[in-house]
């Protein structure tokens, strides 16, 4: 098992993808060992590390980041997580293209993720997924409309809301305050025979 404590030892240089969303991306796409993933932008590398822990030891995550500081943080974090052989942090802008082919999953967490969809489509295997992590409704809409135009076979937008509970001898109830929203997740799937 990949220890969740690892994440508490990592540096946070950007808004990180929460584990509820990482879990949905992993679980809904059926990610498994040996899969090949492109993750962009890497940010602090949290999502790349989560995905890397699942595709290890035989799979690969190509993690794109063009901002100097995030690139350094992501690299350091991947190394602390012991995943240097699985997650390759690339100092590149995904909007300029994806070099890899036969990719199972592309995750996009950019202000304009829809602009990277054509590159994702080209890089993906048949039946592969491109998942947008999209804070605003407008981004989910642009992402979906662009994916449909490019020929993605299906598009599902969903929100994962986590509600933690206080479970105590003296009484059970949801926590009083907490996270209400992180991002909409749009799952676009490439057509074809897997």
Residues that bind a copy of itself (CB under 8 A): 1-4, 19-20, 22-24, 26-33, 35, 50, 53-54, 56-58, 104-105, 127-129, 135-141, 144-145, 155-165, 167, 169-182, 184, 186, 194
Q: For a copy of itself, give the closer residue by CB, 68 or 173.
A: 173
Q: For a copy of itself, give the closer residue by CB, 72 or 115.
A: 115
CB 39 within 8 A of CB 64: yes
Three-state DSSP class for 101? coil
Structure tokens at 174: 């949801």
CB 37 within 8 A of CB 104: yes
Q: For a copy of itself, give the closer residue by CB, 23 or 99.
A: 23
Q: For a copy of itself, give the closer residue by CB, 122 or 179.
A: 179
CB of 68 to a copy of itself, least distance (A): 26
Q: How far apart are CA 42 and CA 192, in angstroms?
A: 28
CB of 57 to a copy of itself, least distance (A): 7
CB of 116 to a copy of itself, least distance (A): 18
CB of 158 to a copy of itself, least distance (A): 5
Q: How far apart are CA 19 and CA 1, in angstroms?
A: 15
CB 48 within 8 A of CB 106: no
Q: For a copy of itself, give the closer residue by CB, 110 or 155.
A: 155
CB of 149 to a copy of itself, least distance (A): 11
Structure tokens at 97: 């293209």
CB 178 within 8 A of CB 163: yes
Q: How far apart are CA 183 and CA 167, in angstroms?
A: 27
């Amino acid at each position: 098992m990949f220890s969740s404590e690892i994440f508490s030892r990592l540096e946070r240089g950007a808004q990180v993808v929460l584990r509820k969303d990482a879990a949905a991306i992993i679980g809904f796409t059926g990610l498994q060992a040996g899969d090949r993933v492109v993750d962009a932008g890497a940010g602090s590398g949290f999502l790349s590390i989560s995905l890397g822990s699942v595709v290890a030891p035989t799979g690969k995550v190509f993690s794109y980041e063009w901002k100097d500081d995030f690139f350094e943080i992501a690299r350091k974090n991947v190394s602390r997580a012991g995943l240097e052989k699985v997650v390759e942090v690339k100092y590149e802008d995904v909007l300029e293209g994806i070099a890899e082919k036969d990719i199972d999953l592309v995750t996009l967490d950019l202000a304009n993720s829809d602009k990277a969809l054509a590159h994702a489509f080209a890089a993906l295997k048949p039946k592969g997924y491109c998942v947008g992590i999209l804070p605003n409704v407008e981004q989910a809409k642009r992402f979906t409309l662009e994916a449909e135009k490019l020929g993605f076979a299906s598009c599902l937008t969903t929100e994962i809301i986590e509600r933690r509970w206080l479970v105590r001898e003296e009484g059970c109830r949801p926590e009083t305050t907490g996270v209400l929203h992180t991002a909409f997740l749009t799952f676009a799937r490439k057509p074809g025979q897997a």
